[in-house]
Amino acid sequence: MLYTSSQPIRYDVIYRGMNYGRIGPDSDPYYTIQADGDFATFFKKFNVPIPQFPGSAAFKLYDTYGFPLDLTELMARERGLTVDVAGFEKLMEQQRERARRAQKKEKISVEEGELTVEPTKFLGYDFLETESVVETVLPSKESKEINIVLDQTPFYAEMGGQVGDRGLLHVPGHDRTEVGQLRVIDTQKRGDVFVHRAKLMEGRAPEPGEAVRISVDADRRKLIEGHHTVTHLLHWALHEVVSRDASQKGSYVGPDKLTFDFSSAPLTPQQKRDVEKLVNEKIAENATVSWSEIPYAEAKQRKDIVQFFGEKYGDTVRVLQIGGTAHALNGYSMELCGGTHVRSTNEIGPFRIVREEAIAAGTRRIEAIAGDAAHAWAEKEAARQQGKFEELARKKPDIATLPTFESKADTSEMLKQVDARAAHLEKLELEIRAWEKQSSKAAEAELKGEADRIANELAASH
């Protein structure tokens, strides 16, 4: 979500170092203080000539601290200043030119065509919104879609099981008004190049060389991050409960659910309960989630860092750590992972295993949900249970009433209610089967008695 003058500023969305789960300046006073502090620093350092804030200072705020120009202009206006936008843009262009000279271009295939472009700089670990320059725009197989390559992006491209980000791309005019808006519906990676698949919503599409503002769908990313981090917890819990040999074979991490494929015999009902319980206990501990970049040669020597054989790793790898001291590589769960994650385990929310099944000989799949996705699942499951109850009630109207379900309860309570209703429905089904069996025997006896009566009457008449 991009902010406008009529919306509260989402400091938390602009800078990922803060918790973007809360929105608005009042909800994150620490960030506001930091922003004011940085402004005060620049006022002292640059001897600001009233009424203009230097373009060099605005560029420094953007380049060093990640402050978008729009935010700098807003804060300047609050102090009765304008910003030297022309000076800022000049420095931005110089930076882009330095980057273009420094980067090696790469040939990639996009749908049916090929192009040679520079690798995309990924900023999505720290930012959800950035200004970027359009490298190229290509048509898509779908008539209303286009493929856009940018010099840098906060959008995560689909890889490692994690789905690609979605969001918005805004095309500003010369007076910084919006002349185009596109919805990014998927992000894919070709080599080291990120390709944004987009649909035009308003105005026109961007052109190569234009600067654009792009923003990730923060709510969707948050769901994905919770599911990705809990996937790591699930992997760890399977090792603790089932076997150290339960190795990962594949995964899907999306906003709606996660799936985890692993080598194992079928899990027993007790093992599933134990795994789920252990994961929820670790979530409740509110352990720190951190990551470190280390040489791959070092990672290979660490038996406590999980890596996946067959994967291609570069000279430097990213280690995702849960628990322990942040960045100290002493957590209870440590894996090589380039995905995006929550900052602490309690951000995940309640975890629930939905099903566990075979997908191939010796390979099992767990489907699970957490947080808001678990809330949505509980509501759907409760509706399904209500339908099942009504079906049973049509067979035997005097059955015991289904326990209530409170959709406004917290997710943990909703999951407990779903479990209670499931147990009740199971009991009702057994009761109705027994009743149907008994009714069938009674009907059979009645039918036999009627047949005997008719036979006796026929015999007497002869």
**What digits encode the pLDDT tens for the residues 244-270?**
999 899 999 999 999 999 999 999 999
Q: Is residue 208 part of a domain?
A: yes
Q: Is residue 302 part of a domain?
A: yes
Say how many domains are in the chain: 4
Please determine, for residue 30, whether its predicted confidence score (pLDDT) is greater than 60. no
Return the ∠ at Cα 22 (arms to 16 and 25), rounded to 5°. 85
Distance CA 271, CA 112 (A): 48
**Residue 224's pLDDT is what?**
98
Q: How many C-beta neighbours within 10 Å does residue 427 have?
A: 12
Residues 336, 241, single domain; the answer is yes
Helices (H) and strands (E) in the chain, counts: 10, 19
Distance CA 306, CA 144 (A): 43
Confidence of residue 164 (pLDDT cuts 50, 70, 90): very high
- B/e letters for 29-48, b = 16+ CB within 10 Å, e = fewer, are eebeebbeebbeebeeeeeb
- Listed residues 81, 99, 117: the one ending a domain: 99
Q: Is residue 458 part of a domain?
A: no
| 326 compared with 24, residue with greater pLDDT | 326
Distance CA 242, CA 13 (A): 39
| 143 compared with 314, residue with greater pLDDT | 314
Taking residues 173-197, report their average pLDDT.
92
Cβ atoms of 289 and 322 closer than 8 Å: yes
Taking residues 100-119, report their average pLDDT.
60
Residues 107, 208, single domain; the answer is yes
Q: Is residue 455 part of a domain?
A: no
Distance CA 81, CA 72 (A): 10
If you average pLDDT over every residue of the chain, what do you get? 84
**Residue 14's pLDDT is what?**
36
Confidence of residue 44 (pLDDT cuts 50, 70, 90): low
Cβ atoms of 366 and 259 closer than 8 Å: yes
Q: Which of 267, 278, 218 is nearest to 367 (CA)?
A: 267
Residues 48, 88, single domain; the answer is yes
Please determine, for residue 284, whether its predicted confidence score (pLDDT) is greater than 90. yes
Residues 365, 227, single domain; the answer is yes
Please determine, for residue 110, whether its predicted confidence score (pLDDT) is greater than 50. yes
372-395 vs 218-241: helix crossing angle, rounded to 10: 80
**What digits encode the pLDDT tens for the residues 291-315?**
999 999 999 999 999 998 667 888 9
Q: Is residue 3 part of a domain?
A: no
Taking residues 437-462, report their average pLDDT.
72
Please determine, for residue 216, whether its predicted confidence score (pLDDT) is greater than 80. yes
pTM, rounded to two decimals: 0.74
Cβ atoms of 340 and 125 closer than 8 Å: yes
Please determine, for residue 32, whether its predicted confidence score (pLDDT) is greater than 50. no
Domain of residue 271, CATH code:
3.30.980.10
Cβ atoms of 109 and 80 closer than 8 Å: no
- Listed residues 216, 237, 267: the one ending a domain: 216
Return the ∠ at Cα 227 (arms to 225 and 230), rounded to 5°. 105
Residues 70, 134, single domain; the answer is no
The answer for residues whose C-beta is within 8 angstroms of residue 413's C-beta and 6 or more apart is: 406
Match 């994967």 to its residue by tokens. 311
Residues 241, 355, single domain; the answer is yes
| 460 compared with 156, residue with greater pLDDT | 156
Residues 184, 299, single domain; the answer is no
The answer for residues whose C-beta is within 8 angstroms of residue 295's C-beta and 6 or more apart is: 315, 316, 317
**Residue 142's pLDDT is what?**
73
**Residue 100's pLDDT is what?**
57
Confidence of residue 29 (pLDDT cuts 50, 70, 90): very low
**Residue 98's pLDDT is what?**
62
Residues 291, 330, single domain; the answer is yes
Q: Is residue 461 part of a domain?
A: no
- 34-43, 61-70, 275-284, 423-432: which is most confident: 275-284
Residues 251, 354, single domain; the answer is yes
Q: Is residue 76 part of a domain?
A: yes
Residues 145, 233, single domain; the answer is no
Structural domain containing residue 16:
11-99
Q: Which of 229, 334, 239 is nearest to 278 (CA)?
A: 239
Both tokens assigned to 373: 């996705």
Q: Is residue 5 part of a domain?
A: no
Confidence of residue 56 (pLDDT cuts 50, 70, 90): confident
Match 């209870």 to its residue by tokens. 332
Please determine, for residue 372, whether its predicted confidence score (pLDDT) is greater than 70. yes
Both tokens assigned to 307: 């890596």
**Residue 24's pLDDT is what?**
36
- Listed residues 323, 355, 370: the one ending a domain: 370
* One-character DSSP codes across 274-343: HHHHHHHHHHHTT-BEEEEEEEHHHHHT-TTSB--TT----SEEEEEEESSSTTSS--SEEEE--S---S
Distance CA 186, CA 157 (A): 8
| 434 compared with 100, residue with greater pLDDT | 434
**What digits encode the pLDDT tens for the residues 403-432?**
999 988 999 999 999 999 999 999 999 998
Cβ atoms of 214 and 314 closer than 8 Å: no
Confidence of residue 217 (pLDDT cuts 50, 70, 90): very high
**Residue 288's pLDDT is what?**
97
Both tokens assigned to 107: 């040939």
Residues 397, 326, single domain; the answer is no
Q: Which of 80, 90, 10, 96 is nearest to 58 (CA)?
A: 90
Residues 187, 316, single domain; the answer is no
- 213-227, 394-408, 426-440, 442-456: which is most confident: 213-227
